Structure 1
C-alpha cells in the first residue's frame, strides 16, 4: 500500500517517504541514485531479495533500479547488523525485499507511468495456477528516458540533466508443493539496460576529446532456487537449501575514462531450524558458500589501472549458529555467531546479539550489537568519480572493510484522539576497524586507501505517527548524523552528509479509498563539501552546502479495477544552480560533476494508471 503513495518506479525511488533510509544522486550526469543508512553509503547495508543476496558486487551502484516498484509486495528495513543466517555483509542494516508471489498476486496487472521529463514506463505481471501444487508468476518491464528529443538541459550548461536510457527486465518465478513433504520456489531474471548522457550531441566512444559523452551498458542474468523439507508432526522443524547464480556485465564510458566489469557469482545457503526442548528455545544452524569471480579494469585515457589489483576470484565458505529465546510475554533474544574463511583475512568470526524487553504493554526497549565485514569493489561502488577530471589513485592493496555496530531503540504506543499512535527513538553507532577511505580532499585526485585512524557514524532518530481522524495518518521524524573519517591524518566530517533532516508525511483516504491524497515535506540541513580551494577562484565552492526543503505529493482516484494517479516531485523546483563545476571544459582540470548535495532536477509532474484483474 505504501509503495502506491508515490511514483516508486523502482527501488531507488521507494524510500522517498521513509525516515530511516536516505536517497540521493551520486553525480550530475549518470542519473544514478544511492541510498544511505545511519549516515553511511548503501554498500554497508545488506540488500536481500527474500533472503537471497541482491544488490552486491557490480550491481552496487545501479542495482536498486533493477527491481520495478510494482513487482514488490513489501519492503522490510532493519537497522543494525541483522541475522547471521543471511551472511556477514550487513553492517548498518538489512533491507529485505518481498516480491509478489504466484499464489497471492492479482491474476493480471498492468501499470503505466509518464512524467514531464519524457520518462515512460510500463510494468505488467500475470499469475497462473497450474494445479493445487504448482503456480507461476511472470513479470515484464520496459522503460525509456528522453523518449522524445535529444535530451533535457534546463540549466543550459550543455549537459543532459537526465541521461537517455532504456531498460528491459523480465522475471519468471514458480512455486511448488509436495503435500506434507516439501515446498519451494525457483525462477530466473534477465535485465538489459543502456544509458547515454553527457554533453548534448557528445561522443560516446571513449576516444574523442571534442565532446564529453557517457554510456553505460549493463546485462544481468540470474537464477534462484529455494527448497524446504517439512516435518508435519514437528511444525517447528525444517531444512532449507537456497541458491542463486548470477552473471553481470557492465561497460561504462565517462569521457576518456572507460570501465569494464564482469561478475560471475554462486551463492548457496543451508538452514536447519529446530527447537531445544521447548518452543521458547529455537535454534538455526547451517553453512554457506559464496563464489565470486570479478574482472574489473579502468582505462583512464590510454593507461589501464587496477587490472591485476581488482580482478580476483573469491571463495568464501562459512558456517553459523543462531539461538532465539522468546518467553511470549516480555523478553526475546537472538544471539548468533558466524565463521567465514576469506582468502585475505583467514578465518573471521562475527558475533551478533539482539535483545527486546517489553517494559509494559505499551513500551519496549531493543538493544543490538554485532560485527560485519565486506569486500570492497572500489571502481563500481564509486563509479560517480569517473565524472570528474580527478585522477583515481589506489594507494595500496585494499583490505576488506570491518565494522562494529551498536544500537538501542525505545518504542511507545499510546492513544491520541482516541486512536493508536506510536513514538520511537533510536540511536546507533558504527565503528570501523578498517574502511576503504575515498579521499576527495585534493581537487586533482581521488585517493583510495585503507583507514589510518578512526572512522565512525552516530545516528539519532525520533519518529511519531498519529491518526487524528479516521483514514488520516500523520508522521513526523527528525534525524541527526555525526559521521567522521580520518583523511590524511585529519578527522573530518564525511562530505555530502547533512547533519540534520526532518520528514513530514500526511496521508488521507476517503471511504473505501475512492480517493487518496499523499503529501511529503522534507528539510535537509547543511553538509560539508569537499575541499575545492585548489580550483581556479571562480570554481571554488563554499565549505558547506545550504539547507533546503523539498515537497512531493500525489492524488489517486480508484474506479473498480482501475486506478489513476497524478503527482509531483520537488514541487518548489529547488535545485543546485550549477551542479557541474566548469561544464564548458569537461577535459579541463576544474571539471567535476560529483559534488551533489541536493536536487539536480527541477519540478517533475507525473501521472499513470494501474489496472488489475483479481
Structure 2
C-alpha cells in the first residue's frame, strides 16, 4: 500500500511541475524600421534557458517556471533590453520587443556622399563604406598613404605609374584613374596635376570613413566621376575628445609619425592632424634602381568649427603638405657624382575648405561650400624639367528637403581650374583655364514599402567649350532603384551618364614626364562621354544559430565614347587626339562574408572585361587583370587582439606592347595587441616576396638611359612594418 501511495504522489508532483513550465514567444524587431532582427537572442537570468530568433525575428523560450523572471534581449549592434515578467503571462500572443540601434554601430552605416538622410541599407545608389574599424586594420599595413585600403576592395586597383618613384593612381572597374573623382569631405581637392601623387600623399589616421560609389556618379559631383568616386570622410570633434598618436617603422627604411586631436569646447570645436613620412631609397632586387624612392613629406590639416546655434555649423579648414620624392639610380641618391638616371618629384599643396550648414526646419537644410586649392609640382629627369602651378576653386550652394517618403537635393556649383607651366620648352606652354557652371537636382522617393526610386539630373556648362556638338553644355541624367524583395533579399539597379573635359594630365603623359607633348587645343578636342550602369543582389541570413552569412553580387557595364589618347607623330612629338572608336568595360563583383564568434572570413572575386575598340580593332585594356580574388580571414576579440591573414590573386595582364605579364599572389599577415591606452602592431606585407623583377628585367637599355617596363606587379617585395598607436583621450 505504501508503494502505491509513493507512485501516486510522484505522478501528482510531476503533473504539477509539468503544468508550471511556461512557453514564451517573442518577435524581436528594429525600433526604427520595424524590420525583424535575424539572430537576436533572449535569455532568462539565473537559468540556462535561451534562444535566438529565426528569419521572421521570432523566437521561443520553453520550460520557464512560474514566478517572476528577468529576461535580457540582445542583438549585435543594438542596445540590450531587459524586461521583468511574471509567469504565467496573461496573453498567449507573441510579445513584440523593439531594440534600438547602438550609437557606435549606427554611426558606421551613415553615409554623406549621397547627401541623403536615409540609412545605407535604404539608399538606391550602391555605396560601399570602409568604416573606422577597417581603416584601423588597413592603417596598420600602410600608415603613410591610402593605397592599401583602396587596393584591397573588389573592383578597385591602385596602379603604379613609375618604376622608381612609386607614383600611383586609382582604377575602378578597369577604367583609367582620371575617370575617378577623389574627394575629401565632398571637396574635389585631388585632381589634374596632382592626380599621379594624390593617393600617395594622404595618410589615413584622421579618416573616419571612406565611401566608394562605383559607376557613374555625376549628378552631385560633376561629370568626372565616370568610373566612380572615392569620398574621404575626416573625423569631427566630439564632446569626449580624441588624441591619437602613431609611430611606424618599416624594413624598407621607412618611418611614419602622425597624430590627431579633436574636441568640442562649448560653441567651438577643433581638429588637428599632422604627419611626417620619410623613407630612404630602397632596392630589394639589387638591380641598382630604387623600388621605393627617397621620400620626405610633411602634412598638416587643422580645422576650426563654430556652432552659433543648435541648427548651424560653420567650419574652416586648411590642408597643407610639402613633399620631396627622389627615385632612380641608387648611386645618384647615395651622393655619387656622375651621369646617373633619376626621377624627382617635388610638390607643395595648400587648400582651404569652408563649410556652412544651417537647418531651416526639421525637414530642410541649406549648405554652402567653398574651397581654394594651390598646387605646385616639379618633375625632373636627366636633361628635362617640367614644372607648373595649378590653381583651382570649388563653390556650391545646396538645399535639401527630407520627408518620410520623399527626399530632395537641389543645388548649383562653380568650378575653376587654371594651370600655368613654368619654363616651357620648345613645344610651347601647356597652359589652360577651365570654368564649369553646374546645377543639379536629385529626388529619392518611396512609393511603396518594397521599392525606393532615386533620380537625378545635372546640367554643366563648360568654357572654353570642347568640340562636342553640345557646344559645352552637358546634360547628365541618372536613375536607380532599390527593391526590398524580402527581409533577407534586396536588389539594386541603376545607371547614368558622365563626361570628362580634355586634359593633358593622364597616366600616359605622366609615364613620359610630359616630355615632347604638344599643348592641347580644347576647342578642337571632344570631351569624353560615358553611359553606364550596374545591378546587384544582396542576401544575408543566419546559418544555424551562430554563423552569419552575407552575399553581394554586382554586374557592371560602362561605355566610354571619344576616348582621349596620346599619339606619337612622325616628328617624334606627342599629341592628344580622340580615338576613332570607344572603350567598354563589363564584368561582375562578388563579395561573401561569413562570421562566427570573433572570426570573420571575407571572400571577393572580380571579373573585368575591359576592351579598346579603336579603328575596327579590339584589344584588351592594358594593365587590367581579368580575374582578381580577395581573401581575408580576420580573428578579432574586441579591445584585446586582432589577427589578419590575407591573400590576393591577380591574373595575367596585357601590356601596351601586346605581351602579357605573369599572374601572381600577394599574401600578408597582420597582428595587433590592444591595451587600455595603447596598442602594438606588426605587419608582414607580401610575405612571400612577390616582385616583378623576379619575372624579368623591369627596364631595357643602359642604366644611364633606361626604358622602364610597365609596372603590373609589386616592385618593393616583402616589407615588414610595425609600431605603436597611443589612445591618450
TM-score, length-normalised on structure 2? Answer: 0.75
- 2:463 matches 1:336: no
Alignment-derived partner of residue 365 in structure 2: 238
Partner of 1:305, secondary structure, is: coil
**How many angstroms does 1:56 deviate by?**
1.2
Q: Give the 3 Å change call, closer, same or farther, for CA 83–412 of structure 1 in structure 2.
A: farther
Provide the C-alpha distance between the structure 2 equivalents of 1:404 and 1:327, rounded to a whole number of angstroms. Answer: 27
- Structure 1: which 5+ residue stretches go unaligned? 533-542
Within the candidate set 43, 62, 69, 2:204 is matched to 69
- 2:356 matches 1:227: yes
- 2:460 matches 1:356: no
Q: Give the 3 Å change call, closer, same or farther, for CA 105–428 of structure 1 in structure 2.
A: farther
Q: Is the 8 A contact 2:531 2:559 kept in 1?
A: yes
Partner of 2:416, secondary structure, is: strand
Provide the C-alpha distance between the structure 2 equivalents of 1:428 and 1:306, rounded to a whole number of angstroms. Answer: 41
Deviations 1:190-225 (A, max 9, x none): 1100011111233999xx992211111100100011
Counting only pairs closer than 5 Å after superposition, residues 400-419 of structure 1 correspond to structure 2 as 400-418=527-545, 419=547
Alignment-derived partner of residue 380 in structure 2: 253
Q: Give the number of the structure with larger relative contact order, counting CA–CA contacts within 8 Å between residues 6 or more apart.
A: 1
Deviations 1:57-80 (A, max 9, x none): 222111112321111111111112
Alignment-derived partner of residue 573 in structure 1: 689
Deviations 1:540-589 (A, max 9, x none): xxx211211110120001111111000111111111124532252443xx
Q: Bigger CA drift: 16-25 or 310-319?
A: 16-25
Counting only pairs closer than 5 Å after superposition, residues 133-532 of structure 1 correspond to structure 2 as 133-146=267-280, 151-202=281-332, 210-231=339-360, 234-274=361-401, 279-296=404-421, 303-305=425-427, 307=429, 310-327=430-447, 329-343=449-463, 344-345=465-466, 346-379=472-505, 381-382=507-508, 384-386=510-512, 392=517, 397-418=524-545, 419-438=547-566, 448-467=576-595, 469-487=596-614, 489-510=616-637, 512-531=638-657
Alignment-derived partner of residue 592 in structure 1: 707
Instruction: From the CA coordinates, give the structure whose radius of gyration is larger.
Output: 2
Alignment-derived partner of residue 85 in structure 2: none
Deviations 1:313-370 (A, max 9, x none): 1111111111111257221111111111112242111111121111111111111111
Provide the C-alpha distance between the structure 2 equivalents of 1:219 and 1:242, rounded to a whole number of angstroms. Answer: 23
Provide the C-alpha distance between the structure 1 equivalents of 2:333 and 2:725, rounded to a whole number of angstroms. Answer: 39
**How many angstroms does 1:270 deviate by?**
0.7
Partner of 1:4, secondary structure, is: helix
Alignment-derived partner of residue 538 in structure 1: none
**How many angstroms does 1:29 deviate by?**
1.0
**How many angstroms does 1:263 deviate by?**
0.8
Partner of 1:114, secondary structure, is: strand
**How many angstroms does 1:82 deviate by?**
2.3
- 2:158 matches 1:5: no
**How many angstroms does 1:24 deviate by?**
3.1
**Matched positions, count:** 581
Q: Is the 8 A contact 2:628 2:648 kept in 1?
A: yes
- Structure 2: which 5+ residue stretches go unaligned? 1-132, 467-471
Provide the C-alpha distance between the structure 2 equivalents of 1:422 and 1:210, rounded to a whole number of angstroms. Answer: 58
Q: Give the 3 Å change call, closer, same or farther, for CA 583–604 of structure 1 in structure 2.
A: farther
Q: Give the 3 Å change call, closer, same or farther, for CA 298–82 of structure 1 in structure 2.
A: farther
Provide the C-alpha distance between the structure 1 equivalents of 2:274 and 2:626, rounded to a whole number of angstroms. Answer: 40
Q: Is the 8 A contact 1:366 1:409 kept in 2?
A: yes
Provide the C-alpha distance between the structure 2 equivalents of 1:347 and 1:395, rounded to a whole number of angstroms. Answer: 20
Q: Is the 8 A contact 1:157 1:583 kept in 2?
A: no
Q: Is the 8 A contact 2:283 2:716 kept in 1?
A: no
Q: Give the 3 Å change call, closer, same or farther, for CA 395–108 of structure 1 in structure 2.
A: closer
**How many angstroms does 1:593 deviate by?**
1.9
Q: Is the 8 A contact 1:337 1:352 kept in 2?
A: yes
CA RMSD of aligned residues (A): 2.6
**How many angstroms does 1:285 deviate by?**
1.1
- 2:166 matches 1:31: yes
Within the candidate set 257, 260, 266, 1:125 is matched to 260
Provide the C-alpha distance between the structure 2 equivalents of 1:298 and 1:386, rounded to a whole number of angstroms. Answer: 18
**How many angstroms does 1:97 deviate by?**
1.1
- 2:708 matches 1:613: no
Provide the C-alpha distance between the structure 2 equivalents of 1:124 and 1:154, rounded to a whole number of angstroms. Answer: 30
**How many angstroms does 1:99 deviate by?**
0.5
**How many angstroms does 1:408 deviate by?**
0.8
- 2:663 matches 1:547: yes
Partner of 1:316, secondary structure, is: strand
Q: Is the 8 A contact 2:314 2:355 kept in 1?
A: yes
Partner of 1:202, secondary structure, is: helix
Provide the C-alpha distance between the structure 1 equivalents of 2:334 and 2:473, rounded to a whole number of angstroms. Answer: 45
Q: Is the 8 A contact 2:288 2:331 kept in 1?
A: no
Partner of 1:58, secondary structure, is: helix
Provide the C-alpha distance between the structure 2 equivalents of 1:441 and 1:557, rounded to a whole number of angstroms. Answer: 58
Provide the C-alpha distance between the structure 2 equivalents of 1:405 and 1:128, rounded to a whole number of angstroms. Answer: 43
Deviations 1:290-328 (A, max 9, x none): 1111124796xxx44351xx3111111111111111257
Q: Is the 8 A contact 1:193 1:219 kept in 2?
A: yes
Q: Is the 8 A contact 1:401 1:433 kept in 2?
A: yes
Q: Give the 3 Å change call, closer, same or farther, for CA 548–439 of structure 1 in structure 2.
A: farther
Q: Give the 3 Å change call, closer, same or farther, for CA 17–459 of structure 1 in structure 2.
A: same
Q: Bigger CA drift: 410-419 or 258-267?
A: 410-419
Partner of 1:15, secondary structure, is: helix
**How many angstroms does 1:439 deviate by?**
5.8
Q: Is the 8 A contact 2:241 2:263 kept in 1?
A: no
Q: Bigger CA drift: 114-123 or 193-202?
A: 193-202
Deviations 1:76-124 (A, max 9, x none): 1111222612222211112111101112785311000110010101001
Q: Give the 3 Å change call, closer, same or farther, for CA 361–530 of structure 1 in structure 2.
A: same
